[in-house]
């Protein structure tokens, strides 16, 4: 029966319009690490100051991926309290030790990391025997300082760690850590992958004469840019594949890349003992003659009748305690407020889901009585505490309620490849009267390749009023001396704006409609 249904679906899809093969993980998913065990493939990616950390995706065909859990989903593994934007969880490596049937996920949490203050971090790994159980060990920290760690078992059983960072060798007390390779790579459009080989982990290391083996930067008009941070995997049939991160600047404009760094797949062949990525061609959205494009993205609709949230929802930083409930009011997602606002470097009552396509609409309905002019709940198109655009309901200070719009952006100036931020934060707040004293309000955020419009509709009205339209450049330019590693997400929030609040915010549904 299952087989019959399956073949019906395949036949049905084959007459549909097809989307792209890449990105295989749409929406921001930087620094992919890929692993195969038997016929199962797994990918882990980076999450920065979002919680839980390191999504683990599963596939059996490399094309269709399912989120099965997160490597770091308990506060004892990951305490992101006050972590700066784009610090936090960086670059995983997902590996398997067959003799003990143990999965290893190495990771780095950059807790102390801003443009002015950078300490080298201690990386760590977590383990599990059952990757589908969504439960990993507490962190076991490496002594060495560095990030981008990886783990390698030699055939004789020796185990090695690699990292980016400083040479940790100190006299004879600590295992010498020779620098294998230095001074390659680059960031932004200069980002690339190179490969070296050697007869043993201690070298000597020989550089591939064809390096870089992945680099879209020579042609800035290509739809995929910033390619690099790649990883390799061998299929059960002996075919080889790679994954890498890339960004898709919109309309060739590096100032519009609000989806951030996504995960791309490509075939790998071998020549003279060196891997050739994607037939020597740049990383692309289609892989002609190798893989068929997949069906377009479908809408995501959650009517909140389930008692658990699906895995694709994120908190900003580690929540101090659960602030959401799907049982307090059946059929609704209830957010209980806390005192933190979206612009605070802390853990507001904010629930996020990644934007997956440039043209994408987010819609929800909110039931919220705002008792004071500080109690506020609504929706946001969110990058970080520094960059977010909100539309909500707030008290009018006179027992009534009103609409509030807020854009929280940074000043911009011309940088090396595109605009960059100055360090000034510009917050613009405006208020709009509501005609209904109570009852639910619907909210909608309409994104296209260059802008977002934020709107609301009262009562049974089908007409949305859009008081805010922002250029999405404000969600896609890197700060001066700082970092820009994520992408945009849609969110719902409830805040007391600096004071505790007991006013619950009830959301009736979550609908995200991507175009491709």
Ligand X SMILES: *[C@@H]1O[C@H](CO)[C@@H](O)[C@H](O)[C@H]1NC(C)=O
Binding site for ligand X (CB under 6 A): 373, 397, 422-423, 448-451, 453, 469, 480
Q: Let me know the angle formed at the C-alpha of 513 by 10 and 405, rounded to the nearest 5 degrees.
A: 170
SS3 string of 187-227? Answer: CHHHCCECCEECCCCCCCCEECCCCCCECCCCCCCCCCEEE
Q: How far is the CB of 207 from ligand X (least distance, A)?
A: 37
369 close to 457: Cβ distance less than 8 angstroms:
no
Q: How far is the CB of 449 from ligand X (least distance, A)?
A: 5
Which one, 126 or 454, has the nearer CB to ligand X? 454
CA pseudo-torsion sign 347, 350, 351, 354: negative
Task: Give the C-alpha separation, 425 to 408, whole Å.
Answer: 7
How many other CB atoms are found less than 10 A from the CB of residue 359?
13
Q: How far is the CB of 384 from ligand X (least distance, A)?
A: 18
193 close to 213: Cβ distance less than 8 angstroms:
yes
Which one, 203 or 371, has the nearer CB to ligand X? 371
- What does 148-192 look like in DSSP terms, one character per residue? EEEEEE-TTS-EEEEEES-----TTTS--------S---SGGG--
Which one, 97 or 469, has the nearer CB to ligand X? 469
Task: Give the C-alpha separation, 516 to 514, whole Å.
Answer: 6
Which one, 60 or 450, has the nearer CB to ligand X? 450
Task: Give the C-alpha separation, 127 to 110, whole Å.
Answer: 20
Please tell me the number of Cα atoms within 13 Å of 419 on its side-chain side.
18
Task: Give the C-alpha separation, 193 to 205, whole Å.
Answer: 16
Q: How far is the CB of 219 from ligand X (least distance, A)?
A: 23
Strand partners, 158: none
Q: Of 63, 363, 82, 449, whose CA–CA distance to 243 is shortest?
A: 63
Q: How far is the CB of 376 from ligand X (least distance, A)?
A: 9
Which one, 197 or 499, has the nearer CB to ligand X? 499
Q: How far is the CB of 359 from ligand X (least distance, A)?
A: 8
Q: How far is the CB of 116 from ligand X (least distance, A)?
A: 10
- What does 312-343 look like in DSSP terms, one character per residue? T-EEES--SS--EESTTTTTSEEE--BS--TT
Which one, 295 or 448, has the nearer CB to ligand X? 448
Q: How far is the CB of 291 from ligand X (least distance, A)?
A: 29
Which one, 262 or 360, has the nearer CB to ligand X? 360
Q: How far is the CB of 469 from ligand X (least distance, A)?
A: 6
Q: How far is the CB of 423 from ligand X (least distance, A)?
A: 4
413 close to 420: Cβ distance less than 8 angstroms:
yes
Which one, 31 or 363, has the nearer CB to ligand X? 363
Q: Of 458, 16, 485, whose CA–CA distance to 228 is shortest?
A: 485
Q: How far is the CB of 413 from ligand X (least distance, A)?
A: 8
Which one, 63 or 480, has the nearer CB to ligand X? 480
Which one, 295 or 451, has the nearer CB to ligand X? 451
Which one, 151 or 470, has the nearer CB to ligand X? 470
501 close to 374: Cβ distance less than 8 angstroms:
yes
Q: How far is the CB of 409 from ligand X (least distance, A)?
A: 15
- Residues of 387-414 as b/e, b for ≥16 C-beta within 10 angstroms? bbbbbbbbbbeeeebbbbbbbbbbebee
Which one, 128 or 501, has the nearer CB to ligand X? 501
Q: Of 263, 194, 195, whose CA–CA distance to 224 is shortest?
A: 263
Q: How far is the CB of 466 from ligand X (least distance, A)?
A: 8
Which one, 194 or 425, has the nearer CB to ligand X? 425
Q: Let me know the angle formed at the C-alpha of 10 by 288 and 286, rounded to the nearest 5 degrees.
A: 15
475 close to 358: Cβ distance less than 8 angstroms:
no
Structure tokens at 213: 């083996």
């Amino acid at each position: 029966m299952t087989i019959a249904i399956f073949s019906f679906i395949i036949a049905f899809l084959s007459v549909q319009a097809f989307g792209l093969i890449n990105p295989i993980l749409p929406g921001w998913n930087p620094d992919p690490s890929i692993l195969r065990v038997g016929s199962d493939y797994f990918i882990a990616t980076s999450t920065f100051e979002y919680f839980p950390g390191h999504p683990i995706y599963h596939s059996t065909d490399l094309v269709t991926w399912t989120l099965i859990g997160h490597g770091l989903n308990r506060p004892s593994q990951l305490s992101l309290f006050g972590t700066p934007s784009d610090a936090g969880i960086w670059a995983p490596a997902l590996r398997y030790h067959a003799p003990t049937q143990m999965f290893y996920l190495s990771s780095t949490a950059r807790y102390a990391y801003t443009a002015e203050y950078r300490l080298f971090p201690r990386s760590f790994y977590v383990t599990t025997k059952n990757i589908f159980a969504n439960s990993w060990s507490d962190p076991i920290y490496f002594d060495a300082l560095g990030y981008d760690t990886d783990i390698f078992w030699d055939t004789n059983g020796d185990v090695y760690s690699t990292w980016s960072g400083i040479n940790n060798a100190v006299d004879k007390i600590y295992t010498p850590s020779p620098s294998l390779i230095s001074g390659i790579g680059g960031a932004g459009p200069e980002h690339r992958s190179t490969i070296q080989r050697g007869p043993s982990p201690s070298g000597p290391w020989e550089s591939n004469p064809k390096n870089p083996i992945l680099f879209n930067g020579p042609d800035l008009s290509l739809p995929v840019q910033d390619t690099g941070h790649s990883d390799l995997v061998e299929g059960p049939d002996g075919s080889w594949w790679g994954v890498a991160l890339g960004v898709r600047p919109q309309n060739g404009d590096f100032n519009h890349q609000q989806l951030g760094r996504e995960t791309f797949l490509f075939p790998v062949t071998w020549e003279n003992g060196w891997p050739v990525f994607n037939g020597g061609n740049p990383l692309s959205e289609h892989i002609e003659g190798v893989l068929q494009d997949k069906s377009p993205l479908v809408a995501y609709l959650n009517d909140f009748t389930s008692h658990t949230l699906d895995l694709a929802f994120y908190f900003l930083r580690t929540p101090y305690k659960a602030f959401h409930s799907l049982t307090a009011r059946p059929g609704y997602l209830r957010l209980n407020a806390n005192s933190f606002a979206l612009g605070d470097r802390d853990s507001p009552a904010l629930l996020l889901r990644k934007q997956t396509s440039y043209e994408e609409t987010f819609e929800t309905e909110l039931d919220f009585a705002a008792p004071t002019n500080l109690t506020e709940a609504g929706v946001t198109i969110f990058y970080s505490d520094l960059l977010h655009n909100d539309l909500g309901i707030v008290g009018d200070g006179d027992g009534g309620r009103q609409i509030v719009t807020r854009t929280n952006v940074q000043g911009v100036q011309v940088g090396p490849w595109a605009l960059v931020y100055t360090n000034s934060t510009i917050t613009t707040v405006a208020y709009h009267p509501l005609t209904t004293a109570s009852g639910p309000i619907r909210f909608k955020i309409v994104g296209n390749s260059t802008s977002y419009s934020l709107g609301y509709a009262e009562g049974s009205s089908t007409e949305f009023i859009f008081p805010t339209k922002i250029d999405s450049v404000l969600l896609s330019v890197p700060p001066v001396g700082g970092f820009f590693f994520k992408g945009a997400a849609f969110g719902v929030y409830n805040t007391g704006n600096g004071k505790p609040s007991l006013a619950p915010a009830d959301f009736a549904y979550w609908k995200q409609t991507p175009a491709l």
